[in-house]
Copies of this chain bind each other. A is one copy, B any other.
Amino acid sequence: MDDSTARFLRFIRDPDSKSARTFEGFVLLLVLYSLLIYSLETLPGLSQQLRSFLSLSESVVGSLFVLEYSLRVTCSRRPLRYIFSFYGVIDLFAVLPLVLGIGTNGTIIRTLRIFRIFRILKLSRYSKSVERFIKAVTVAREDLVIFSLASVLLVFMSSVGIYHFEHNAQPDKFPSILHCMWWSVVTLTTVGYGDAFPITVGGKLFTSLVLACGVGIVAIPAGLLASALTKVREDEQE
């Protein structure tokens, strides 16, 4: 194997080499462009001309993805291992509609290409960050489970409660406990669209009570993860 081939192959095998970074950067741009095309195609009232251009662009990008996939399979030291790896499967999904000849218009599979962005995590410094995240989740595992469980319970309990307070007053907004769960989720995450809210005194008191404990319970897991991540980083530095 001569030197230029060796250098060429390195970008497949060593994600931290300079040429690999350039290549991955180019692939990343293609992925973003491909997702932009997908988004633009859904715009209503596009001119026929623009529509053809988007379709052509998608074909070109798709072909480049097929080329890239072939390259990765043929150049890899262990092709099968690559094909069945996490990134390999993702890469496959990126080319599947084109390869199978389904055509690509409106195929939701194309959106799976977004996962290709995670390739960035193969860079060593980000893979360390991911490890740190996994460690933080492991450390705070039980607490996270407890608070998630408490959140689910809270959502159910507040759904049952609001159903009993508001069902008679607003049967169209709170028709059943399952519908009330939507209200619970929207309220406890403090999104509060305003599509459904209590109007009875009992319902308002109940909601105030639920919010008093609930907002905290739903916000704690994020705080726990942030603290755990900071702790793991500190431990590494020592």
Contacts and interface: CB of A to CB of B under 8 A. Distances in A.
A42 B163 contact: yes
A208 B182 contact: yes
Interface stretch (A11-19, A62-70, A189-197): A189-197
Given A108-B164, A195-B194, A226 B224 contact: yes
Contact of A157 (B114, B142, B222): B114
**Count of chain copies:** 4
A24 to B, nearest CB: 14
Interface in A155-212: 156-157, 159-160, 163-164, 167, 171, 175-178, 181-182, 185-187, 189-195, 197, 199, 204, 207-208, 211-212
B216 A221 contact: yes
A231 B229 contact: no
Contacts of A193: 192-194, 197
Interface stretch (A50-58, A73-81, A85-93, A128-136): A128-136
B195 A160 contact: no
A134 B223 CA distance: 17
Given A178-B42, A222-B223, A128 B142 contact: yes
A145 interface: yes
Interface stretch (A1-9, A33-41, A94-102): A33-41
A160 B226 contact: no
Contacts of A29: none
A39 B222 CA distance: 30
B215 A222 contact: yes
B234 A231 contact: yes
Contacts of A159: 39
Ranked nearest first, the 8 interchain pairs of A and B with the lowest CB-CB distance are A223-B226, A191-B192, A227-B230, A194-B194, A129-B142, A42-B176, A39-B177, A219-B222
Given A223-B226, A231-B234, 13 more contacts: A39-B177, A39-B181, A114-B156, A120-B149, A139-B233, A185-B211, A189-B190, A190-B191, A194-B195, A215-B218, A224-B229, A226-B227, A227-B227
